[in-house]
Structure 1
Amino acid sequence: MRAGEVVSDPTNALAIEAALRRRHQEEVHLAAVHRVLRAQDFGPGMSAHFRLFALVSSARAVGSDSTQARLLIRHLTYRQTVLADLAPTAAPQLHVTTFDDQVTQERLADTVRPALDGSTVPLVDEPERTRARGYYTGCALRISILGGDLEIGDGGFTDWTARLSGNAKERCLVSCLATERLADRVAH
């Protein structure tokens, strides 16, 4: 018998590891590539078995959402760089939604957007998004190609490390990219 592990989302496991590492580190940044299996039917052309490249970052909040801004810049800059290199002709976009969080909206305007200026991968506001409200706290991300028509990634802030550590000051940002979906679209 072969040892194996099945997960539906690698960010959950990474958040557990981040909470453990946060006991001894100021900030934790983790990444993993994992094949996942999800039970729900995603519809035609979609697979319940696919590979995700996940990022999880965790740090203590220091006020005015500056920690959240720093983590967002880190994830979004990385995603911009990768998409600009791997899929420049696929019209990649990063979408951001703030769920009625005024301070996060301010940090997006005065800190995050200026740090991301100059990339060929735009950061697009998506205020109409309601999906994952409650799952993500304050801010959610979506990664798309083909001018926004094909979603290849998702993410946002969660309360996972805060709950795991029993510390409400903990912040955790997760984001995933479906690597096979991206590779399939870029190859065509």
Structure 2
Amino acid sequence: MKKNISTHIISRLDLQSFVSVLARELNGSELNTVLLDVFNKRVQQETASTLLNKYARNKLVKPFETDVIKLKENELSCYKLLASKGFEPIELSPVAQLGTSSVVATVDQKKVLTALRNTEVQADPTNAIALHYAWLKKKRVLGKTTRNYSNISRILRTQAFSNPHFTPHFSVLCLVSCGRDTGSFNFEREELLKQISISSQICKEVFGIQQLYFEIIPGKGYDSLSPMITDLPDSLAISVVEPDNSNNYYYGFRIKMKIVLDDVVYEIGDGGLLDWTQQLLANKKERMMTMGIGFQILHQLTAK
């Protein structure tokens, strides 16, 4: 629908050639200069009254109502636990390089809040960390050892949510493991075990959740007998479910983390193997695994 509305506006105002010039013929600096001037002129038309009225209608800008002290205490507890297990905390910028979410992943850029100065509002820390790792790798400041990163960020998505409890901006906890293929699926098995183990600890030790389990979903060309997902400890409550051959986001396998509270099951985490660092570094030997945990949802469910 939004695409049709955009097409209608462009057609009605006869802006086809103008849009093409902006998109294809101006370099980044020139486009930024033009848009800065446009928004500067638009803002000059605003008054304190119109500003307040627009704030009232804008769902993207309202604060999240919560016990902020408890939320930050949980963040600190998680970071301390993650750091003790070798997951380096990384504090990301509130904005990412334009295209971070959509160029190497399958996210529609329209679901991301695109900004000026060649940036976009942070929409997924895993993408930003992949870009940071690739940049460091390109600079040759990283060795051959696997790097484990952790981040808790408040991110923003512009798509409409059907669930009334979902807010446009929310906190997520991300685990990212980046390294090189060492053969025999060693990276995949070792990092899967690390990420599942630390995710379990976070739920149990920080949020007091005792009932949880993981589902491993093989991707195209893999099944429950694949060497990369066998020999995992039974103590981690892992089950391998039917392969998902339609998924184009993860490859090899996908991980789902679920918790049980008062006999209700909540899907609280999602992750898996990604090829983003392979694309960024043009190297098929690169490996990347992520886990994203709904930190804000965990906080809300256990804030009693």
User: TM-score when scaled to structure 2?
Assistant: 0.54
Q: CA deviation at 1:7?
A: 1.3
1:7 to 98, 122, 127: 122
Structure 1 residues 72, 141: CA separation in 2 closer, same or farther (over 3 Å shift)? same
- Whether 1:30 aligns to 2:149 is yes
Deviations 1:13-71 (A, max 9, x none): 00111223344222111111111111122212222210011111111112221111111
- Whether 1:118 aligns to 2:258 is no
**For 1:102 and 1:161, how far apart are their aligned partners in 2?**
24
- Whether 1:65 aligns to 2:179 is no
SS in 2 for 1:118: helix
Asked if the contact 2:268/2:294 (under 8 Å) is kept, the reply is yes
- Percent identical residues: 26
Partner residue in 1 for 2:294: 178
Asked if the contact 1:34/1:53 (under 8 Å) is kept, the reply is yes
**For 2:286 and 2:227, how far apart are their aligned partners in 1?**
20
- Whether 1:134 aligns to 2:254 is no
Partner residue in 1 for 2:267: 151
**For 1:35 and 1:104, how far apart are their aligned partners in 2?**
38
**Aligned residues: CA RMSD:** 2.4
In structure 1, the gaps of 5 or more residues are: none
SS in 2 for 1:149: strand
In structure 2, the gaps of 5 or more residues are: 1-92, 96-120
Partner residue in 2 for 1:92: 212
Give runs of ≥4 in structure 1 deviating > 6 Å. Answer: none
Asked if the contact 1:64/1:103 (under 8 Å) is kept, the reply is no
Partner residue in 1 for 2:40: none
SS in 1 for 2:283: coil
Query: Hey, which of these two has a bigger chunk of strand by percent?
Result: 1
**For 1:143 and 1:40, how far apart are their aligned partners in 2?**
23
Larger radius of gyration: 2
Partner residue in 2 for 1:19: 134
1:80 to 200, 213, 234: 200
Aligned residues, how many?
A: 179
Q: Which moved more, 1:89-98 or 1:151-160?
A: 89-98
Asked if the contact 1:53/1:178 (under 8 Å) is kept, the reply is yes
Partner residue in 1 for 2:281: 165
1:54 to 144, 153, 174: 174
- Whether 1:107 aligns to 2:228 is yes
**For 1:25 and 1:104, how far apart are their aligned partners in 2?**
32
Q: Which moved more, 1:100-109 or 1:136-145?
A: 100-109
Code of the residue aligned with 2:125 in structure 1: it is P
User: TM-score when scaled to structure 1?
Assistant: 0.83
Q: CA deviation at 1:176?
A: 0.8
Structure 1 residues 87, 105: CA separation in 2 closer, same or farther (over 3 Å shift)? farther
Q: CA deviation at 1:10?
A: 0.6
Structure 1 residues 104, 170: CA separation in 2 closer, same or farther (over 3 Å shift)? farther
